[in-house]
Amino acid sequence: MHEYYPLLVIGAAISTFAVAFIIAYVLMKDKKEAIGFERNMKDSEIIKRLLRYAKPYKKEFAAVFGLMIFSIAYEIVSPLLVGNITGIIKEDFEMYQLVSLIIAYAGVLIVSLVCTYAQSILMQKTGQKIVSAIRFDTFEHIEKLSHQQFSEIPTGKLVTRVSNDANAVSMMFTHIMVNLTKNALIVVGILVAMFAVNLELTLMVMCFIPFIILFTVIFRKFSRRAYRRVKDRTTDINTFLSENLSGMKIIRIFGKQKSKKHDFDVKNTGLGKAKGEQIFVFGIFRPVVYMLYISSVLVLLYLSASGKIKDTTFLGTAITSEILVTFYMYISKFFNPIQQLAEQFNMLQSAFASSEKIFTILDIPVGVKDYEGAVDVGEVRGDIEFDHVWFAYKDENWVLKDVCFKVKADQTVALVGATGSGKTTILSLLCRNYDIQKGRILLDGVDIRKYTISSLRRQFGQMLQNVFLFSGTIKSNIVLRDETLTDDQIMEACRYVNADKFIDKLDDGLDHEVREFGNNFSAGQRQLISFARTVLYKPKIMILDEATANIDTETEQLIQDSLERMMNIGTMIIVAHRLSTIQHADNIIVMSDGKIIEQGTHEQLLAARGKYYNLYTLQKDRRRIIES
Ligand SMILES: Nc1ncnc2c1ncn2[C@@H]1O[C@H](COP(=O)(O)OP(=O)(O)O)[C@@H](O)[C@H]1O
Ligand SMILES: [Mg+2]
């Protein structure tokens, strides 16, 4: 009996570890709700949706699994071959036997290496294709979201979905899925092979399995928490970054660098800590599995060596040197995939969490979309009518209250009124950025909801106060819709709106670089570029929202001049603070608090001596003071 004492010592050591881990497991509090990481979708649903993306690549997956079987063969067969080699090396052995075994070994090794290589290349390629499809769908869906929906989700979050989360999903296709299957097959294969070689020693190895399972379960709980934290903190940092980088100018102006730096530091440290926790958890788990591996090898060696190898018996069977070598190799190949299985299972969970986040974005129903039977607008005249329009951005906080007005084709209509009175909202409703709650908006006498959104928006040329320029060139910013236009056509549009004056002064003219947001141009120049962009397409209806605000007097003259020309292109609706710019409008609508309080021509409104008259005289006086 005393010969089993060393085995008891090993057992006691492992049990001590097990008890310590169980205590830690019980004490650990996993505050799921606090971190806001509840999963709503079932794993089965996520898998189903992911498989839909994988479906076009059935053949590739079949090939990958075929190759995988070959790459597994090495793990199972090589210990047997090495065992055989040990078995035949006796005092008088035939050299050809040894050589043929070595050749067999090398053959299996080479085939397995080649298969593993081919398999991982194929998997990488396929995985990347699948993920770029997912990324594309996500981006496409984000583009479809209405203004309202888009403004409700922080940009950083969307960036994280399309980049980080898509990457996690890509890991699943390129690594996790294959390795999970491969490792599971290896574990099963080795167990079967061990049983075939020696039942008793296999039972000995299996004594360690309950401990492996126990440690794995505990590890999964800790690592899941760590993963979740890392992910939340990453989204957090991305959101913070995208907002603050866009707002960097404001941060500088208000001298907020220090406090922003502090905020960033907190988030940064948080992410660092979360990563640290993750590393710590893995740092414990891997050595523990290693300990189990070493223990089982020790037991094997002890059992074999206690009887000087040759005629050792364990539970009645002899352990030959051949079996010893084979088992030693099997054991060392057995624990590694088990440890990896546990880790990959975690990554799978994390990939599922990412998939769910992506699918949640994809599942947002598009707020403003084509109604059934919507038709293309086709050729329009440009008559516009607001017919008792009521609109609220949220609930019943009416921003527009019973607004009625008509614009005849080719007329110019101006909207004036205090900030917040609803002018921008009116323009936004025209292009169906939002849907109204009550009333109708008519284009050529037809409710705009009867048209497809894309054909409706094509009728409008929009020039807004904050011109958005993309990084690229002046040319690429002007020809946004149609790349086939010639430089002459573009320059003609530029001349029409007086943009040629500053473009001609640039060495490279239309090819001049435009930096992010058009930072390297003045507000007036940006505005002129946006005018050129609009008139190039000669839209039926042009919309200008305070396009002449914050522009110097010199540029204002240019803009005023081009505005007057643009009025001849088609219907024009213009919001302006400077009343001098809209005196020639066919109709001036005065807004106050979401309602129309006056409308008429400049002369009519002045004669009425109402709100417009007051505004106009106020501005004129101020002008006179400035100019004198
Ligand atoms: N996206 C939005 N969500 C909620 N309320 C908004 C939104 N945009 C504007 N508003 C509100 O609607 C009102 C009218 O705004 P707006 O049409 O931009 O006024 P104006 O262009 O005349 O200055 C304001 O009270 C503003 O706070
Ligand atoms: Mg406005």
Task: Please report the DSSP string for 163-183 in residue order.
Answer: IIIHHHHHHIIIIIHHHHHHH
pLDDT tens digits along 556-581: 777 777 777 877 788 999 998 878 77
Q: What is the whole-number distance in angstroms between the Cα of residue 545 and the centre of ligand 2?
A: 7
Ligand 1 atom with the smallest distance to the CA of 545 is 21
Alpha carbon nearest to ligand 1 atom 19, residue: 420
Rounded Cα–Cα distance for residues 223 and 243 (Å): 30
- Ligand 1 contacts CB of residue 422 (under 6 A): yes
Instruction: Indicate the residue type of 173.
Output: F
- Ligand 1 contacts CB of residue 423 (under 6 A): yes
Maximum average pLDDT range among 127-136, 299-308, 515-524, 556-565: 127-136
Picking from 362, 388, 418, the residue at the C-terminal end of a domain is 362
Rounded Cα–Cα distance for residues 376 and 477 (Å): 26
Instruction: Indicate the residue type of 91.
Output: E
Model confidence band, residue 70 (pLDDT cutoffs 50, 70, 90): confident
Q: What percent of the chain has pLDDT over 90?
A: 22
What does the buried/exposed string (b/e) look like for 479-516 if buried means 16 or more CB atoms within 10 Å of the residue's CB? beeeeebeeeebbebbebbbbbebbeeeeebbebebee
Q: How many CB atoms lie within 10 A of CB 248?
A: 12
The reply to whether 358 falls in a domain is yes
Lowest mean pLDDT among 95-104, 148-157, 276-285, 493-502: 148-157
**pLDDT above 90: residue 266:** yes
Q: Does 469 lie in the same domain as 336?
A: no
- Ligand 1 contacts CB of residue 290 (under 6 A): no
Are 257 and 251 a contacting pair, CB within 8 Å?
Answer: yes
Q: Half-sphere exposure of residue 82, counting CA atoms within 13 Å on the CB side?
A: 15
Q: What is the whole-number distance in angstroms between the Cα of residue 241 and the centre of ligand 1?
A: 26
The reply to whether 580 falls in a domain is no
The reply to whether 175 falls in a domain is yes
Lowest mean pLDDT among 499-503, 552-556, 586-590: 552-556
Alpha carbon nearest to ligand 1 atom 7, residue: 393
Q: Does 190 lie in the same domain as 81?
A: yes
**pLDDT above 90: residue 164:** no
Task: Kindly state the greatest CA–CA separation across the chain.
Answer: 125
Model confidence band, residue 35 (pLDDT cutoffs 50, 70, 90): very low
**Integer angstrom CA distances of residue 425 from 41, 379, 409, 541:** 37, 25, 21, 17
User: What pLDDT is attached to residue 31?
Assistant: 56
Picking from 362, 379, 410, the residue at the C-terminal end of a domain is 362
Q: Does 166 lie in the same domain as 302?
A: yes
The reply to whether 184 falls in a domain is yes
Q: Does 143 lie in the same domain as 275?
A: yes
User: Beta strand 460-463 with 541-545: parallel, antiparallel or unpaired?
Assistant: parallel
Q: Does 480 lie in the same domain as 331?
A: no
pLDDT tens digits along 338-381: 888 888 887 887 888 888 888 988 988 888 888 888 889 888 88
Alpha carbon nearest to ligand 1 atom 17, residue: 422
- Ligand 1 contacts CB of residue 44 (under 6 A): no
**pLDDT above 60: residue 115:** yes
Q: Does 480 lie in the same domain as 333?
A: no
Are 203 and 327 a contacting pair, CB within 8 Å?
Answer: no
Name the domain count of the chain.
Answer: 2
Rounded Cα–Cα distance for residues 99 and 91 (Å): 16
Q: What percent of the chain has pLDDT over 70?
A: 93
User: What pLDDT is attached to residue 309?
Assistant: 45
Are 598 and 421 a contacting pair, CB within 8 Å?
Answer: no
The reply to whether 30 falls in a domain is no
Are 228 and 353 a contacting pair, CB within 8 Å?
Answer: yes
Model confidence band, residue 34 (pLDDT cutoffs 50, 70, 90): very low
- The parent domain of residue 90 ranges over 42-362
Q: What is the whole-number distance in angstroms between the Cα of residue 245 and the centre of ligand 1?
A: 25
Q: What is the DSSP string of 182-205?
A: HHHHHHHHHHHHHHHH-HHHHHHH
Mean pLDDT of the region 483-509: 85
| 304: nearest Cα among 198, 218, 215, 410 | 198
The reply to whether 545 falls in a domain is no
Rounded Cα–Cα distance for residues 335 and 330 (Å): 9
Mean pLDDT of the chain, nearest integer: 85
- Ligand 1 contacts CB of residue 594 (under 6 A): no
Q: What is the DSSP string of 465-500?
A: SS----SEEHHHHH-SS-TT--HHHHHHHHHHTTTH
Q: What predicted TM-score, i.e. pTM, was given to this entire model?
A: 0.70
Q: Half-sphere exposure of residue 71, counting CA atoms within 13 Å on the CB side?
A: 19
Structure tokens at 459: 């009728």
Q: Does 353 lie in the same domain as 468?
A: no
**CATH label of the domain that carries residue 292:** 1.20.1560.10
Q: Does 157 lie in the same domain as 293?
A: yes
Picking from 362, 396, 418, the residue at the C-terminal end of a domain is 362
**pLDDT above 70: residue 37:** no
Q: Does 477 lie in the same domain as 339?
A: no
The reply to whether 83 falls in a domain is yes
**CATH label of the domain that carries residue 496:** 3.40.50.300
The reply to whether 138 falls in a domain is yes
CA Rg value for the chain:
37
